[in-house]
Each structure stands twice: as structure tokens, then as C-alpha cells.
């Protein structure tokens, strides 16, 4: 196998996405985020990182850390729950009591929900014609209930999205849409030590108003969050006010000497955050749309697209529907004059023997060719760039799983 000219394997946090090749740092991505954020660390615990730090995040399978870390990029989100951990505060109706139960951040900060209903009294006015997602970490209480119900609704209104979660089985029931509520979806994630993050998304009312959050049942609770969007993002702690986690970006990798205009291969092992109707792109370009090699995750249709554009003319643009774009996929794009190919997970999906290659390639970014549009919010396990076209055998090896076990854990499948 040829040696890559640029290689990124997530291994360190800081103001960069650090590339191991080239060794002089030219391949490092400049990272920005204007706020602190949380990650899942190597011990599987929620941990806060500073606003200047990128995030090495770890995947969990059955509540345990699996595989190597990935770099995480997320859009801006605001947690409108102003007391996300202090459930004894008057902000919460009926309240809850502190308990010496270790929370998902590894400290004795979990609460016990003793009331039949607990939800915010002081509502924040948000547009409830938009899909919102409420989430909370919950754990079964041996002295209480295994079942918890989440409601997303206008405070004082019967319009609600409702779902019941089983904290022993790690499952959820049918999502109900009452009144004018709609588009309800649910998710449950195993965070280990009996903790699950229960999430519920939907539109609670056709009119503007407050959004309430209502877990019911005697269980341990931690980390409540309500955010605008169709899926839950990483936890945003609050203590008296709504907090926004700023959008993240990573760009500026490489220079004109790194990339070969005539031929090369771009390989990435990535996954989207959700199939939510947005478009996310990763590019090598001259800083514009006119000359670029772009990998696109079309999150409205589980579709992966490729664009090879030279002098503002598109010469190669295959697309493939994947089984699930939120799974990791190993993708390689080969480009050479009249010789293009797309490989995914060890298989050649498309070839084209006609077309020109881009010129003046000088930078790589987690966005479109201009470095700012359609940022690729997702998880990245590795990137490799080769300044020569690889053989079919090399491309197969580059994009294949090395074993059945690697494929199982990479896709976060349960191996019974």
C-alpha cells in the first residue's frame, strides 16, 4: 500500500484536528468553537472541555466504550432548560431529592424523582411550530419504577408528544401525538451503569408558546435538555440560564504542495449525526466552488454523493443510497484524468472513464469548497489523502473492515 500524503487519526484534543502526516503540522485542521462543550471520554463518562478544545469523543456499545475515538463536530444548539441538573430548584414543579447515586459524569450528583410529575414551571418562550427534542438521563430505581414517561408539550396545554421508556430493558413504546402535536420520534441510548439517555422529538403545538418537559416515575434522573432540532446532541449543562453550545468548524488542512491536481485518492471513515434533511460536505478545493473534490452526506435520504469539479464544470458526480448514513462508512474517491471511481466499505460502486481533474487544489475542510457552506457535522474516525491514484486492490483494502468483529463494533451492532 502506498503511503498517504496526509493522514488524520484522532488522538489528541486542542485547537486543532491533528494529522499524523505530514509531520510538520501542515495537515492539521484549524478548529474553532466559541463555547465549552461536553464529550464522552475514554472511561465512558460525560466530561466538559474548554471553548478552545476540540473533542475526542468515544462511542458506547451496550454502555461500554468501544473502538478508538473520533473527532466530533456539531451544530449550535441551546439547552432551554435552565436548571439541567438541580431538580430541587423551584424551577421544577414538585421537585426531586438529591441522592448518592453516581451520575453519568462520574460524580454523586444524580437526583431521585419522587413526584408523579416533574416539569419546568418557568417556561422559556420558543417557537413550538418547530421540531424540538427533549432528553434526560434516567436510571431504574430498585425502590421505585422501571418505567418513565416523557412529554413534550406547551405548558398547560393538552397538545403533547408522549412516549414511555423501560429503564431495565432499554426500550421505548409507541410515540403518541395528542391534539395538534406531530412528528413524534423517540430514542434510547445506553450510557452504562444502568443509565439511559431518553430522547423525544416532535412538534408540540401549532402556535408559539412554552415547551414543558415532563418525566414521570420514581427513578434516578440527571441532565435534562430541550433543544430545537429533530435529534439530541451532546449534553449542555445549565445552572440558572439557558446555555448555547456554539457551532464547530475545522478547516485549513494542507497547502498547494500537499495535493496533486492530476491524480489522487481521498479516503474518509465518517458518520452523520442524523438523517435530518440537511446536507453536509467535506472538500479538497482551491478555496472556491470552481475547483473541488467534495464528499457529501445528504441527510434527507441516507445518500452519499461525490462531486469532482474543474473550472466550474462537474465531471464526476455519482450518488449511492446507504442503509444508514448514521453508521460509519469507509469511503474512497479516486480521481485522475479520464479515470474516476467511488469505493464504499470494500466495494467499487461507480466508475467513470471521462473527465478533467480540479486545478489549484490547496486546502481541505469539513465544509464545501469555500470552507464555510454545508459544514460536515458528524463523527470522523480517520482521513487519508494519497497524491497518486491507487489500484483497485489497494482501494478495496483501504475501505474494507479488517475483520467481522471490527465491522460489528464499528457499526455499533450488538454481538450476541
Domains of the chain, first to last: 6-57+249-410 (2.60.120.200), 77-245 (2.60.120)
The 10s digit of each residue's pLDDT in 302-331 is: 999 999 999 999 999 999 999 889 999 999
The 10s digit of each residue's pLDDT in 122-171 is: 665 666 678 889 899 999 988 877 888 888 776 556 677 889 999 999 99
- Containing 195, the helix (H) or strand (E) segment is strand 195-203
Distances (CA, A) of 209 to 34, 92, 127, 161, 243: 29, 18, 6, 15, 19
The 10s digit of each residue's pLDDT in 4-33 is: 999 999 999 999 999 999 999 999 999 999
Q: Does pLDDT of 192 surpass 70?
A: yes
Distances (CA, A) of 370 to 26, 153, 293, 384: 19, 40, 12, 21
The 10s digit of each residue's pLDDT in 209-223 is: 556 666 777 889 999
- Average pLDDT (284-289) is 97
Residue 41: pLDDT band (50, 70, 90) is very high
- Kindly provide the b/e burial profile for residues 111-144, where b requires at least 16 CB atoms within 10 angstroms of the residue's own CB: bbbbbeebbbeeeeebebeebbbbbbbbbbbeeb
Query: What is the CB-side half-sphere exposure of residue 161 using CA atoms within 13 A?
Result: 26
Mean pLDDT of the chain: 89
Burial of 62 (0-12, 13-18, 19+ CB in 10 A): exposed
Q: Which residues contact 311 (CB under 8 A, 6 or more apart)?
A: 290, 291, 356, 359
Q: Does pLDDT of 299 surpass 90?
A: no
Distances (CA, A) of 93 to 49, 159, 289, 352: 31, 19, 52, 63
Note the pLDDT of residue 416: 38
Note the pLDDT of residue 3: 92
Q: Return d(Cα 248, Cα 400) in angstroms, integer.
A: 30
Question: By mean pLDDT, which of 126-130, 231-235, 277-281, 320-324 is the weakest?
Answer: 126-130
- Average pLDDT (370-376) is 93
DSSP state of 216: B
Amino acid at each position: 500500500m502506498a503511503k498517504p500524503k496526509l493522514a488524520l487519526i484522532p488522538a489528541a484534543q486542542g485547537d486543532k484536528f491533528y494529522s499524523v502526516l505530514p509531520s510538520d503540522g501542515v495537515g492539521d485542521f484549524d478548529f474553532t468553537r466559541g463555547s465549552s462543550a461536553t464529550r464522552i471520554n475514554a472511561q465512558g463518562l460525560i466530561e466538559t472541555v474548554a471553548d478552545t478544545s476540540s473533542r475526542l469523543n468515544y462511542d458506547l456499545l451496550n454502555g461500554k466504550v468501544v473502538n478508538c475515538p473520533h473527532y466530533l463536530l456539531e451544530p449550535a444548539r441551546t439547552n432551554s432548560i435552565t436548571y439541567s441538573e438541580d431538580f430541587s430548584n423551584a424551577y421544577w414543579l414538585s421537585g426531586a431529592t438529591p441522592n448518592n447515586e453516581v451520575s453519568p459524569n462520574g460524580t454523586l450528583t444524580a437526583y431521585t424523582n419522587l413526584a408523579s410529575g416533574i416539569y419546568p414551571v418557568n417556561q422559556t418562550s420558543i417557537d413550538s411550530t418547530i421540531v424540538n427534542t427533549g432528553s434526560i438521563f434516567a436510571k431504574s430505581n430498585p425502590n421505585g419504577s422501571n418505567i418513565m414517561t416523557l412529554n413534550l408539550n406547551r405548558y398547560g396545554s393538552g397538545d403533547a408528544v408522549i412516549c414511555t421508556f423501560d429503564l431495565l430493558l432499554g426500550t421505548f413504546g409507541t410515540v403518541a401525538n395528542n391534539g395538534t402535536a406531530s412528528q413524534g420520534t423517540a430514542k434510547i441510548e445506553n450510557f452504562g451503569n444502568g443509565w439511559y439517555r431518553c430522547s423525544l422529538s416532535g412538534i408540540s403545538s401549532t402556535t408559539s408558546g412554552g415547551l414543558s418537559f415532563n418525566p414521570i416515575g420514581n427513578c434516578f434522573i440527571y441532565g435534562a435538555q430541550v433543544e430545537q432540532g429533530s435529534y439530541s446532541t451532546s449534553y449542555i449543562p445549565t445552572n440558572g440560564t439557558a446555555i448555547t453550545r456554539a457551532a464547530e468548524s475545522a478547516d485549513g488542512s494542507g497547502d498547494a504542495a500537499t495535493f496533486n491536481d492530476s491524480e489522487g485518492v481521498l479516503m474518509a471513515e465518517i458518520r452523520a449525526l442524523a438523517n435530518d434533511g440537511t446536507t453536509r460536505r467535506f472538500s479538497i478545493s482551491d478555496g472556491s466552488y470552481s475547483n473541488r473534490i467534495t464528499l457529501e452526506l445528504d441527510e434527507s435520504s441516507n445518500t452519499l454523493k461525490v462531486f469532482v469539479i474543474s473550472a466550474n464544470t462537474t465531471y464526476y458526480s455519482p450518488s449511492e443510497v446507504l442503509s444508514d448514513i448514521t453508521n460509519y462508512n469507509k469511503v474512497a474517491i479516486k480521481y485522475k484524468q479520464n479515470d474516476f471511481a467511488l469505493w464504499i466499505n470494500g466495494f467499487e460502486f461507480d466508475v467513470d472513464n471521462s473527465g478533467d481533474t480540479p486545478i489549484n487544489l490547496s486546502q481541505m475542510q469539513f465544509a464545501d469548497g469555500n470552507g464555510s457552506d454545508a459544514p460536515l457535522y458528524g463523527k470522523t474516525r480517520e482521513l487519508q489523502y494519497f497524491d497518486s491514484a491507487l489500484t483497485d486492490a489497494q482501494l478495496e483494502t483501504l475501505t474494507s473492515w479488517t475483520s467481522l468483529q471490527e465491522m460489528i463494533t464499528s457499526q455499533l451492532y450488538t454481538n450476541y
